[in-house]
Amino acid sequence: MHNKGTKLLNLPDPLHLATRTGCSGTITLPGSKSISNRALLMAALCNQPVTLKNVLESDDTARMLEALQILGVTITRNESDPSEYQLHGWGGRWQPRHDELFLGNAGTAVRPLVAVLAASLREDQAMRLDGNARMRERPIAALIDSLTAAGADIACHAEPGFLPLTIRGGLSGGEVRIDGSVSSQYISALLMALPLLPQDSELMLVNDVISVPYIDLTLAMLRDFGNRIRKLSDRHYAIAGGQQYRSPETYFVEGDASGASYWLGAAAISGGPITIYGVGKHSIQGDVRFAELVQKMGATVEMLEHGIRVYREGALKAIDVDCNDIPDAAMTLAPMALFAQGTTVIRNVASWRVKETDRLAAMATELRKVGARVEEGADYLSVTPPEQWQHATLDTYDDHRMAMCGALIAFSPVGVSINDPQCCSKTYPRFFEEFSRLCHD
């Protein structure tokens, strides 16, 4: 009925990419992972059917679709358009087929489901959530602590703050507090859950808040699905209880702005031009701001109604930039830095350490393999281009973004090899196919 996770076909492992000297053409982005999984869950919380278009086909969305089916949601896939689904849920009154959800390494499924189930499971219902080995290593303590302090009944079965865990509901309204400095996904999860409660709530964010654009994206989507949340400040939200998710009938998922970063980077390194369709001047995704950083490095960027056009004529220059708001897209700056004049510093990205892998450590290790001078700090990365390029086989750590960032090193005079290119299936199954189409010798 729905995808079981898309796998790349016929790719050697490792994948050897010979030197590329140019990259030009047009690319249409797959749907955003962040928007796709939010939209799937919001649609499942509606009483009336919702048709979702341009849903990303990936491992993460496959795990969410499987979880929603287990919870009793009826899901129909359009046979003529595999990116279109119709969901008919129960308005948050789940009818589970059994009591366990396996969510792989899909953080965009785990976080919101933990909060929403804590708000919506009946007293006589319990649901166990588990993931793969890496997901069991990814802490969600801040979210669990916030939910249990607000009355949720959540039991962790191994280490406190980690999967596997069992939820029995119990969340109640009032003042809910959470550390805003760890992951914006925790905040988005609470914003999706709290309208389901009968009581009014106030969400208070403690410490510095990271990735604010992702929170704003969630608020925009909640409005589209009939929920009203008052943003009193970046740290304070008022949420009326007793709200219902309302079907927008049809909802279109924007192209993945994080995925756009690789083509923005490829055009900036090679000269382009590349036109990227699926995000544009009206995008609700914060990662579209990556285009501004590419422009600061020396590329020319034209924001179109539903696209972005990028090319470069002069030299690529190093930048020193705070990337707290766009940590996922910011990873693409690291391989771009190898081709820029000077030392690029990517700051305020401590959240890289709790992603699919420790991305600060992983990126430092892999860039050193090609000859770059790299300094890794607690929350920053400093990259100076190689004086002498070295061909390397890059490890990807089962992290899709490590693989796609690594592809940009093919613009070096020695090319690059990439272990486990298949890990791109998490968000961008056809990335290397598109890379081969657009990037040429």
Short-list 324, 408, 334, 401, CA closest to 373: 334
Q: How far is 29 from 274, CA to CA, in rounded Å?
A: 12
Per DSSP, what are the bridge partners of residue 317? Answer: 341
Residue 211, annotated as binding a ligand: yes
Short-list 333, 321, 313, 311, CA closest to 385: 333
Collapsed DSSP state (helix, strand, coil) of residue 203:
strand
Q: How far is 141 from 319, CA to CA, in rounded Å?
A: 34
Query: 150-157 long-range CB contacts below 8 Å, 24 or more apart?
Result: 150/174, 150/176, 152/118, 152/119, 153/118, 154/114, 154/118, 157/128
Q: How far is 326 from 264, CA to CA, in rounded Å?
A: 15
CB-CB neighbours of 152 under 10 Å: 23
Q: Which two tokens stand for residue 423?
A: 């890990």
Q: How far is 422 from 429, CA to CA, in rounded Å?
A: 8
> Residue 343: CB partners within 8 Å, gap ≥ 6?
318, 337, 382, 383, 384
Is 379 assigned a catalytic role? no
Residue 183, annotated as binding a ligand: yes
> Residue 101: CB partners within 8 Å, gap ≥ 6?
66, 67, 70, 71, 113, 127, 128, 129, 130
Per DSSP, what are the bridge partners of residue 310? Answer: 274, 301
Concatenate the DSSP letters of all residues of 351-406 into one string. GGGGSSS-HHHHHHHHHHHTT-EEEE-SS-EEEE--SS----EE--TT-HHHHHHH
Residue 34, annotated as binding a ligand: yes
Concatenate the DSSP letters of all residues of 208-266 into one string. PPP-HHHHHHHHHHHHHTT--EEEEETTEEEE-SS--B---SEEEPPB-HHHHHHHHHH
Residue 107, annotated as binding a ligand: yes
Torsion on CA atoms 265, 269, 274, 276, rounded to nearest 10:
0
Q: Which of 216, 328, 395, 399 is catalytic?
A: 328
Q: What is the DSSP letter of 83?
A: T
Identity of residue 134: R
Residue 359, annotated as binding a ligand: yes
Per DSSP, what are the bridge partners of residue 167? Answer: 127, 154
Collapsed DSSP state (helix, strand, coil) of residue 202:
strand
Which burial class, exposed, middle or buried, applies to 240 when counting CB atoms under 10 A from its CB (0-12, 13-18, 19+)? middle
Collapsed DSSP state (helix, strand, coil) of residue 435:
helix
Sequence ranges of the binding site for 3-phosphoshikimate? 33-34, 38, 183-185, 211, 328, 355
Residue positions annotated with a catalytic role:
328
Residues tagged in the binding site annotation: 33-34, 38, 107, 138, 183-185, 211, 328, 355, 359, 401, 426
- Known binding residues for phosphoenolpyruvate are 33, 107, 138, 185, 359, 401, 426
